[in-house]
Amino acid sequence: MILPSLVYLLFLCSVIGIFWTLQSLQARVWLLMVAGLVFYASLQVQYLLLMVALVLVTFFVAQALSTPLDWRIANARWQVAEQGWNRRRSRLLGLGIATNVLLLLGFKYLAGILRLLGWSNPLGFNVAIPNSLVDGVMPLGLSFFCFECIAYLVDVYRGSPAAFNFSDFGAYKFFFPKLISGPITRFHLFIDQLEQGKAPGLVGSVEGVWLIACGAVKKLLIADHIAILVNLSFNNLQRAGSTDIWLATFAYGLQLYLDFSAYVNIARGSALLLGIHLPENFDAPYFSTSLADFWRRWHMSLGDWLRNYLYFPLGGSRQGLARTCLNLMVVMLVAGIWHGNNWGFLIWGALHGLGLVIHRLTQALAKDSPDFKVFWKTPPGVGLAWILTQSLVFFSWLFFRLPDPQQFTLALQRLWGVEADPQFVQKVYLEALGFSYGQLGILLLGVLGVMAIAHSCKRSLKVELNWPLKLLLVPLFSWLAWLLAPAQALPYIYFDF
């Protein structure tokens, strides 16, 4: 089942109805775990046992990590025992992290490593291994699954209590609204809300269905239609002109944001109907005026994970400017590698790392130059900062959308001074889309303008729709999404990661 769809809607309503009928906390916990297993099996039943095994390994490693040192040991032996206990816990943590990381890297990079080594037939038999075994589809949600497992193990290592029983941890890991693409959450925040068992009430229920309806509009009405332009342009690079590639890159940035934020809206709305508040994952990132601010507002749960479980352990900003810049670059390179096994993702991460380094150096320069610091707070300075930030962000999306070197090299070669094939213009703009190049540009800017108005109303004017108006708009939004959706529903972009 996909989000949104009638099948998912029926599934969600069924789970909600049973959930609030049950009075026992453990019954609710088991229901959520079973519902998550059913949801995952409907998408990729072949990987279900693998995901269950990963959850079991993480659960038992965390149990071992939380085992206390025997207090009955004599004082003379306490220090020796404590040192051995700490070494054991460090090894267990390393084992848990290594299991998750190696599994993730294995699925992402096995095909590339075998080809790099020229191992088309690594077993030495006359029959070559089918590509399907090497280039098999990656388990959906594996990246988010592994990141949550690593965060949980580190939290337990740092002193947080481990899950009391497997059903609690299983319900957290297989919580179906966030199972495939996040947002990345922490176990203790999730289980605390589940134990409290607070019903959403009328206002909360309206907010839940409102978020689902908004997600449906973002995905079906806007993102999937933008995807038609993006796919037609990038799938015909040899015929596209410079303006076509620039337009498609800008369109892809909007598509990616709307597509991913739509999933998060539906996930948060579904969870809210079950009494669970999932964190927001986006805060108008395309209106940030620095790359550091962009990463505080784009995919915020991933940014928090990278900051808390990678950047800070590397030393953060506590060891001087040079080390801070190095840490920023390492973190963003890891973010690039996490997204995929092509060079484009690494370049995307390197561009963002370089941007963060330049921002940090600019901050250091501003401390010694008051005039320079004041300039960035003036309207021209803010406008320039926004243009520079978003130019880098949108340009880097080119490598994200075309990660293969042959693809992004061809696109880069055609970025300047290349005219489009006349048939390309006719087929793509007039026949497939029904708009001219200029009209499409205006429509895309209109989408950005609506996002700007919504952001201004919420942040500057503090204006939000009340729940009765949201309730009235939900049927309209749902009907528009259903009526105007493309003939074929497209998968979420972040399902590939």
Q: For helices 405-413 and 343-368, what crossing angle results, to 10°?
A: 60
Question: Is 455 one of the catalytic residues?
Answer: no
In 235-308, which residue ranges form alpha helices assigned H by DSSP?
242-272, 291-297, 300-306
Query: Rounded to 5 degrees, what are φ and ψ at 250?
Result: -65, -45
CA dist., res. 306 & res. 313, Å (int)? 10
Among candidate residues 188, 225, 277, 339, the one labeled active-site is 339
CB-based contact 141:41 (threshold 8 Å): no
Structure tokens that stand for 430 in this block? 């007039």
Cα end-to-end distance, the chain, whole Å: 19
Q: For helices 201-216 and 242-272, what crossing angle results, to 10°?
A: 160
CB-based contact 196:57 (threshold 8 Å): no
Count, in order, helices (H) and strands (E) of the chain: 21, 0
Buried b (16+ CB within 10 A) or exposed e, 61-94: bbbbbeeeeeeeeeeeeeeeeeeeeeeebeebbe
- Would you put residue 486 in left (φ > 0), alpha (ψ -120 to 50) or beta? beta
CB-based contact 184:152 (threshold 8 Å): no
Structure tokens that stand for 249 in this block? 């890159």
Q: List the catalytic residues.
A: 339
